[in-house]
């Protein structure tokens, strides 16, 4: 520390934007903050990076603490470091977003933090710059969803085409032409039609589909091979 004694101390934190899909709408997971400043106000789940861990491990630790989940799809999306973003300390936060099927995991959310799912288009006022963090994560999610089928991480094992359409409409905040959307999706070979129908949410009964995992993995690998061209060599 002798070399850095003249430098100001800065705290490094992580914040997790956890997106979920309940079969009808895209949602975001929030908690009640249990300490000052902004105690009892709604917040993203976050924490400080410990001396013995990387930001990625810190984000995984935070996610597990809130949901009990491990090995969930999660990636870094942005860094927030405005000097005045928190009132009492200089805190830089690295943001990560995760994707979760809410219907599968609702029962294991932490009661300690009053964790709750809220519609992405209608959630309560948040502390600090957490609204901006959600907007940044949503922008990142839109870009990724346009390149490869990342949104299938939010779906249950079997799903209907109207459910997929509702998910994509929630991410992009637009309404699709349902026939055109269905035709393009079916032609992608990403989904396999099942004999079973969903008769609870449709009078006629919408057929269930499942993900074609072979095609899905192929598209992901193709996307990963494309990534290096996004970045300069130096």
Residue 30 · residue 116 · CB < 8 Å = yes
Count how many Cα atoms sit within 13 Å of the Cα of residue 159 in the half-sphere of its side chain: 26
Residue 125 to residue 136: CA distance in whole angstroms: 16
CA end-to-end distance (rounded Å), the chain: 30
Q: Do 94 and 136 meet the contact criterion of CB atoms below 8 Å apart?
A: no
- Contact predicate 154/166, CB 8 Å: no
The string of pLDDT tens digits covering residues 119-142 is 998 999 999 999 999 999 999 999
Is residue 48 within 8 Å of 129, Cβ to Cβ?
no
**What local confidence, expressed as pLDDT, does residue 107 receive?**
57
Q: Tell the burial category of 90 from Cβ atoms under 10 Å away from its Cβ (0-12, 13-18, 19+).
A: middle
Domains of the chain: 12-230 (3.90.79.10)
pTM for the full predicted model: 0.83
Which pLDDT score is estimated for 128?
95
**Active site members:** 114
Structure tokens at 45: 């789940």
Model confidence at 234, pLDDT cuts 50, 70, 90, reads very low
Answer whether residue 220 shows pLDDT above 70: no
SS3 121: coil
Cβ atoms of 48 and 11 closer than 8 Å: yes
């Amino acid at each position: 520390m002798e070399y850095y004694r003249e430098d100001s101390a800065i705290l490094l934190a992580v914040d997790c934007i956890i997106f979920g899909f309940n079969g009808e709408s895209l949602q975001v997971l929030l908690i009640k903050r249990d300490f000052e400043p902004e105690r009892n106000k709604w917040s993203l789940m976050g924490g400080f990076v410990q001396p013995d861990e990387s930001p990625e491990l810190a984000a995984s630790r935070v996610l597990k603490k809130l949901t009990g989940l491990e090995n969930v799809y999660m990636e870094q999306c942005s860094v927030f470091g405005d000097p005045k973003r928190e009132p009492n300390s200089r805190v830089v936060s690295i943001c990560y977003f995760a994707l979760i099927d809410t219907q599968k995991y609702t029962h294991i959310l932490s009661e300690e933090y009053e964790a709750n799912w809220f519609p992405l288009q209608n959630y309560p006022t948040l502390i600090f710059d957490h609204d901006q963090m959600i907007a940044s994560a949503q922008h990142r999610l839109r870009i990724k969803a346009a390149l490869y089928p990342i949104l299938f991480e939010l779906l249950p094992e079997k799903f209907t085409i109207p459910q997929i359409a509702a998910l994509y409409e929630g991410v992009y905040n637009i309404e699709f032409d349902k026939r055109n959307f269905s035709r393009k999706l079916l032609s992608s070979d990403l989904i396999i039609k099942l004999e079973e129908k969903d008769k609870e949410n449709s009078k006629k009964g919408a057929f269930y589909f499942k993900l074609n995992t072979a095609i899905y993995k192929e598209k992901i690998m193709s996307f990963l091979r494309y990534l290096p061209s996004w970045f300069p060599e130096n």
